[in-house]
């Protein structure tokens, strides 16, 4: 098992995160694993009714692709008749993405992504009114596909009687990343965050908890959140079913400390014929299992 470099001192974290486009992050990515995955076609989520125990569809996502990357995603929520549509617009160089713009037709939100050697290193997002803006800067470890640091900057732009009442939040995900056979084996996020109030002296504080994911063959198997203050957070266990090496169904069970786990969600996958490498495939599956990652890990597969 290999552990990617993990910077523990705040000054280094700030420097390396801000230099995501510098020489340390611009080297060629590690060679891709052999193609043993395929792009998803549909992802259907089910929730379990407590009374009857039946699985009921809560959401379905349908993807369309060009050049091995999504161009349209249609998401239908339970009870809705018209799906929300998301469009992806890419630029490429040497068959690798250079930039991408994701447009949410329902909310008008635009997310812009920049890549370095095909790896995500900057993501900017804003709502159509410009009230909320966010930026993420990624720093990678030893040239592989998995980041070890990410700096988040969120900005709320609001005014009261013409006076700015905006606020800025900064957060650093400081992640220990362990890999095995080129795939994730364990990630653990114990980052820092700064106060929101503009004008106040910036005060950096560690997260109250440490957020850990353990993986089997690169697919999330268990999550845990251990807090310094308060009870341990909910744990999730993922029961994965495969056919011909592809994940077809996952059941997520959650439990609080000292309680028996209970099934909460089922996710069913269908696939296109387009093959992708193992690192991207497992990141894609983990993206759906962990809703993109949030405080655990961010799974950039598109």
The two structure tokens encoding residue 137: 């800067």
- What domains sit in the chain, N to C, each tagged with a CATH number? 2-25+36-289 (2.40.160)
Distance set, CA 145 to CA 117, 198, 221, 299 (Å): 10, 35, 20, 10
Determine the pLDDT at residue 257.
Answer: 67
End-to-end CA, the chain: 26
CA distance 138 to 301: 14
Q: Which of 196, 215, 143, 206 is nearest to 174 (CA)?
A: 206
pTM value is 0.84
For 43, residues 6+ apart whose C-beta sits below 8 A from its C-beta are 60, 61, 63, 267, 268, 269, 288
Determine the pLDDT at residue 5.
Answer: 39
Q: Report the DSSP pairing between strands 167-180 and 147-156.
A: antiparallel
What is the 8-class DSSP label of residue 52?
T
CA distance 123 to 133: 11
Characterize 108-128 residue by residue with b for buried, 16 or more Cβ atoms within 10 angstroms of its Cβ, and e for exposed: eeebbbbbbbbbbbbbbbbee
Per-residue pLDDT of the chain (302 residues; tens, 9 = 90+): 544 433 333 333 333 333 333 333 333 333 334 458 999 999 999 999 877 889 999 999 999 999 999 999 999 998 777 899 999 999 999 999 999 999 998 888 999 999 999 999 999 998 887 778 899 999 997 667 899 999 999 888 765 555 556 778 889 999 999 999 999 999 999 999 887 766 677 888 888 889 999 999 999 999 998 887 777 777 899 999 999 999 999 999 998 666 778 899 999 999 999 999 999 999 999 999 998 877 899 999 99
Determine the pLDDT at residue 211.
Answer: 92
């Amino acid at each position: 098992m290999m552990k990617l470099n993990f910077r523990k001192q705040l000054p280094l974290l700030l420097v390396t995160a801000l230099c995501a486009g510098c020489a340390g992050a611009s080297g060629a990515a590690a060679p891709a694993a052999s193609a043993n995955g395929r792009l998803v076609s549909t992802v259907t989520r089910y929730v379990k009714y407590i009374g009857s125990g039946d699985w009921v569809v809560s959401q379905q996502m349908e993807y369309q692709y060009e050049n091995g990357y999504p161009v349209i995603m249609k998401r239908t929520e339970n009870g809705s008749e018209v799906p929300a549509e998301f469009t992806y617009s890419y630029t490429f160089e040497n068959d690798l993405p250079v930039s991408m713009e994701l447009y949410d037709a329902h909310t008008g939100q635009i997310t812009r992504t920049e890549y370095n050697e095909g790896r995500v290193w900057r993501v900017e997002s804003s709502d159509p009114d410009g009230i909320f803006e966010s930026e993420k800067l990624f720093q990678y470890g030893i040239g592989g596909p998995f980041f070890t640091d990410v700096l988040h900057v969120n900005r709320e732009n609001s005014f009261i009687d013409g006076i700015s009442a905006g606020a800025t939040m900064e957060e650093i995900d400081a992640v220990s990343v362990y890999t095995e056979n080129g795939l994730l084996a364990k990630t653990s996020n114990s980052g820092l965050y700064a106060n929101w109030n503009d004008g106040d002296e910036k005060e950096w504080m560690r997260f109250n908890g440490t957020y850990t994911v353990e993986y089997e063959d690169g697919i999330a198997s268990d999550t845990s959140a251990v807090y310094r203050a308060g009870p341990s957070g909910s744990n999730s266990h993922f029961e994965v079913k495969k056919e011909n090496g592809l994940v077809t169904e996952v059941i997520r069970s959650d439990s609080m400390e000292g309680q028996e786990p209970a099934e909460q969600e089922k996710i069913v996958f269908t696939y296109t014929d387009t093959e992708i490498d193992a690192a991207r495939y497992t990141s894609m599956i983990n993206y759906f299992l962990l809703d993109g990652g949030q405080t655990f890990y961010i799974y950039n597969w598109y």
